[in-house]
Amino acid sequence: MVMIEKSESLPRAVPSCVMAVFGVTGDLAKRLLLPSIFNLATTNTLSEGFRLLGIGRKPWTDTILREYITKSLKTFLGKKPDPRTLRWLVDRTYYQPANFEQTASFDGIRERIKQIGKGTQGGSCLFYLAMAPNFTSSISQQLARAGLFREFGNSFRRLVVEKPFGNDLSSARNLNVELRKHLREDQIYRIDHFAGKDAVQDLAVFRFCNSIVEPLWNRSIIDSVQITAAETVGLEGRAQFYEKSGALRDMAPNHLAELLSLIAMEAPVSFDSKHFRDKQVELLESVRRIKPSEAPKYSVRAQYGAGTIEGKRVKPYRKESGVAIHSRTETFVAMKVEIDNWRWSGVPFFLRTGKCLSRGLTEIAVIFRQPPARLLTKALQHHQVVNDCVFSLKPTPGIHWTIGTKAPGMGTHVTVADMGYQFSAGPYGDQAKGYERLLYDAMSGNCILFQSSAFVEAGWQMVQPLLDYWEGKRGAHLPVYAAGSSGPQQADELLQVSGHAWRSL
């Protein structure tokens, strides 16, 4: 195993701006956004003119928010905050109480931004909606009415929207239409935190910057591809959201679609955001559209039951707080995806994601075809050599090749060896939250890691037939898998039909 030290020169500071975070007192902000902002401050990536405006329903003051940030960072940063950096940040932090249903509240936000934003680059502002998705449309309407999306001179006004972006294809299209009434496409930053991870960005660099790799990336050499996003955790208090979402909506049209597009897209003309994102969309639009009636052939859904994870008993999903006693919400999904283009025709892509599984990991496994002839007998070939290239994204980022080699000794025996490397931590070490690069790019105006409206709609198109089928089969049997297992037996059968098998978790 080789450890690769990534030398990285820190980027220059972003333009001065006000970052207005709606929902600053919520879980997303305290666990991820605030630590990420602090990390950026530690490397002087935020300019002297940076201002943080927290917006929420609570009747707080600037002082209360500053104390809250100080306490939250001590809990969620992962280490003791540097006192000097902490003082720098809290001195630039302000709070504005608001009722998101009242027009007057947005007039107050506008005036507060004017007040604290003096000295920023022409009044630039980044609005971040760390809110439930049902607020996206109404808040964007109110911000537009208050004139907060208007740009003057060299200033910018941008909106960052968290997933889920809609809950099906129709609602995603409607939300895109609604946002484009008030904003240009280049002002809308649809965020997927998967894209902020170095290991995910490595996928494109690995493929398109190494001449020894790209000749292998086609249907003649590759047998199949598996994309896995497995979690050991359950709901973690998110029953209200998850009951409406389920595993498919929560993961497939965004996270899994992002990984699918990166591993299978064609080479862009450049790493310019337009060229790159267009190729991602082109790939998703090449996914074979199935009929809802074909869903059982291409997918499996299931729900976790009682079990044991890391020695701890886990209760069934339906016994979780806030979950309906007869809930039909899936916590596991497996899909077979076929891509109808010149490069991938005939190569199956298998996608799976689930909660309360035996191990938490995110990986992409590219499995190569077997040699055309077996040169050594089974007796000499102790292990069946399956050549694969595995991109490990979590828990230990790295790239691993599995190859056949001669076992040490006098005879000629074949054994399996691993050839690979793992990446060292970036400038923020173990404290990195994955949002640092995304926040930096949003303030810098680089949208390459954010999803376009076309990408969002193509992602929903990929899963809409499954949603339509399941909606019409509400009373059908929903398989149950034991918590702490690798998922339901039906997921194994989905691959066995074509002679494939899942990699072990």
Give catalytic residues, as residue numbers.
255
Q: Are strands 388-394 and 93-97 parallel, antiparallel or unpaired?
A: unpaired
Q: E-strand spans in 339-437?
A: 348-354, 361-368, 388-394, 398-406, 414-423
Per-position DSSP letters for 302-336, written without gaps between them: EEEESEEETTEEE--GGGSTT--TT----SEEEEE
User: Closest Cα partner for 246 from 188, 162, 303, 311?
Assistant: 303
Contacts of 319 (CB under 8 A, 6+ apart): none
Amino acid at 299: S
Helix (H, G, I), strand (E, B) or coil at 447: coil
C-alpha pair distances (Å), 390 with each of 40, 353, 356, 422, 468: 31, 17, 23, 11, 33
Cα–Cα distance for residue pair 206/195, rounded to 1 Å: 15
What are the strands, taking DSSP E only, across 164-318? 188-190, 222-230, 299-305, 307-309, 312-314
Cβ–Cβ under 8 Å, residues 407 and 53: no
Distance from C-alpha of 223 to C-alpha of 220, rounded to nearest angstrom = 8
The CA distance from 247 to 470, in Å, is 13
**What are residue 304's DSSP bridge partners?**
481
Other CB atoms within a 10 A radius of the CB of residue 75 amount to 10
385 three-state secondary structure: coil
Nearest to 470 by CA among 199, 136, 247: 247
Provide the terminal-to-terminal Cα distance of the chain, rounded to the nearest Å: 20
Half-sphere exposure of 22 toward its Cβ, with a 13 Å CA cutoff?
26
